[in-house]
Amino acid sequence: GWGNQESQYYTKDSRNCFIQDGKLVIRALEQKMGNFNYTSARVRTYGETSWRYGRFDIKAKLPMGGGSWPAIWMMPLESVYGGWPASGEIDIMETSYSIYRNKILGTTHTTNGHGGNSVGGSRIMGETIYNDFHTYSIEWFILTQKATFVKSFYKKGGRYPLPSLCGNQVFHFSL
Verify whether residue 127 is a known catalytic residue: no
Question: Residues 48, 78, 94, 139: which is the catalytic one?
Answer: 94
C-beta separation of 40 from 50 below 8 A: no
pTM, whole model, 2 decimals?
Answer: 0.85
C-beta separation of 57 from 135 below 8 A: yes
The dihedral over CA atoms of 123, 162, 45, 47, expressed in degrees to the nearest 10, equals -170
Strand ordering across the sheet containing 89-94: 119-124, 103-109, 89-94, 71-76, 171-174
CA–CA separation, 70 and 40 (whole Å): 11
Confidence of residue 112 (pLDDT cuts 50, 70, 90): low
Confidence of residue 116 (pLDDT cuts 50, 70, 90): very low
Question: Residues 30, 78, 89, 139: which is the catalytic one?
Answer: 89
pLDDT in tens, 139-167: 888 776 666 677 666 555 566 666 666 77
Verify whether residue 94 is a known catalytic residue: yes
pLDDT in tens, 7-30: 889 999 999 999 999 999 999 999
